[in-house]
Chain A
Amino acid sequence: MQHPKQQTTNPMVTGTSVIGIQFDGGVLIAADLLGSYGSMAQMRQLPRVFKVNEKTVIGASGDYSDYQFILEKIMQKVNQDYCLNDGYVYKPKQLYSWCTRVMYNRRSNFDPLWNRVVIAGLEDNQPFLGSVDLLGNAYEAPCIATGYGNYLAVPIMREFLEKNNNKITEAQARDVVDRCMKLLYYRDGRAYDKYSIAVVTRVGARVEECKELQTNWQVASQVASYD
């Protein structure tokens, strides 16, 4: 597939962290609703998680136009599925594998899609969560986060999973994700206090549009000056 080389060594409107966690019976991913233009919070209410089909959801951080490009290609595949009408739909691991090939191929031509994509869903009723980045690095894990989330959220999610033997409920997963999004809002200068969640369970997949964070700033009254 030929396409003109893009200026994607210069990401323009970008999204910050996407976090994802597996729970007993499903998986969920969350990303805030902000598109940043450098340090400017340019576009609020920008959805960065997307429902692909009843078994898969996808989210991405990085350049938003490249994310939309990936989504467009994926939706073409989903529409093909629909037209073929043979009972088969793309499963998360297949999309993850496809995504890896695409990202690695672009990187090998020095024209990367400037994203880190998180693909989540149910693969034969087993929760699946994987991430592919702009260099084509791909891996699956019980919990994943991109951007600052990788440093701030992953340790929290891992500790929580380990404490509960990797078996947590959906409610617990939502709670730990909310805590992580809150921490990211405190510590990531490109974060926003509203986020959306995409959940996949045996019942199906859905995107919850807008959740607002309840933050705590009491510590501000205890701080004065710098010395």
Chain B
Amino acid sequence: MIATSDITMPDWLKEEHKTGTTIVAAEFNGGVIIAADSRTTTGAYVANRVTDKLTPLSDRIFCLRSGSAADTQAVADFVKYNLEFHEMETGSEPLVNTAAYLAKSLIYNNKERLLASVMVAGWDSKKGGQVYVVPISGMIVRKSIYISGSGSIYAMGYLDAFYRPNMERNECLELIKNAVAMAIARDGSSGGCIRYAIVTDKGVERNVLLNTELPRFYEN
């Protein structure tokens, strides 16, 4: 039995894979912009420095994952499967709302077993761009902008100060990139590159901002 109080035992032998993480999703005047860092940690060891935390659930709906990597991958797989099935049954595009509620029902009903905190964000023709937050507890709430994960605290003030509803695409994108960059700078469990995507009625545009290209701020 590994004693977690054993100071001679390395941390990466005691911890499970977690996406330490910073994830952001925001509505802008054409849809949603989503972004995440790319670090997965086991304790302080970086198990994957180029992780993709933006998981597509359908053509225009994404799941942003934070918490236990295994749990969130399982939730995403479940939602993706059921959403596709539902799409076939109804014959029409999947709604962001539906995807979000599927995630919520899984997380809420298994809340003792799971450590999964996700955001479901995307675009559908009924309500346009939407961001739904489903934290560990399994509640669900729709937000115009939200930042989540261990790195979120370092950028929350920045977003509070500078976000406005219905921003232009480039303005919103820069805001999001800066927010994740700030979180990466301060949070040891977030790092690497910023993966982002812009989801609109026209489709999805995905990209990566490499670590060397990140905006840098004052570093005393």
Contacts and interface: CB of A to CB of B under 8 A. Distances in A.
Interface of A: 16, 36, 38-45, 148, 151, 186-190, 214-215, 217-221, 223-226
Contacts of B220: 43-45
Contacts of A44: 219-220
Contacts, number: 77
A217 B189 contact: no
A209 to B, nearest CB: 13
Contacts of A186: 46, 49
Interface residues of B, number: 33
Interface string B188-200: 1101110100000
B68 interface: no
A148 B44 contact: yes
A17 to B, nearest CB: 11
Contacts of A226: 51-52, 55, 73
Interface stretch (B24-32, B93-101, B161-169, B206-214): B206-214
A217 B46 CA distance: 14
B50 interface: yes
A39 B193 contact: no
B152 interface: no
A116 to B, nearest CB: 12
Interface in B178-195: 185-189, 191-193, 195
B187 A220 contact: no
B187 A41 contact: yes
Interface string B39-56: 101011110011110011
Nearest to B50: A220
B150 interface: yes
Given A189-B20, A215-B212, A220-B192, A39 B150 contact: yes
A187 B192 contact: no
Contacts of B191: 189
A221 B208 contact: yes
A188 B192 CA distance: 11
22 contacts: A16-B44, A36-B188, A39-B44, A40-B186, A44-B219, A44-B220, A148-B45, A151-B10, A187-B49, A188-B44, A188-B46, A189-B188, A215-B211, A215-B212, A217-B50, A217-B193, A217-B212, A218-B210, A220-B208, A223-B50, A225-B56, A226-B73
A85 B107 CA distance: 71
A40 B43 CA distance: 13
Given A217-B210, A223-B52, A226-B73, A40 B187 contact: yes
A112 to B, nearest CB: 9
A148 B10 CA distance: 9
Contacts of B46: 186-189
A226 B211 CA distance: 20
Contacts of B188: 36, 38-41, 189-190
B148 interface: no
Contacts of A188: 44-46
A16 B208 CA distance: 28
Nearest to B49: A186
Contacts of B210: 217-218, 220
Nearest to B153: A40
Among the interface residues B44, B187, B195, which one has the most CB atoms of the partner chain A within 10 A? Answer: B44
A146 to B, nearest CB: 12
B195 to A, nearest CB: 8
Nearest to A37: B188
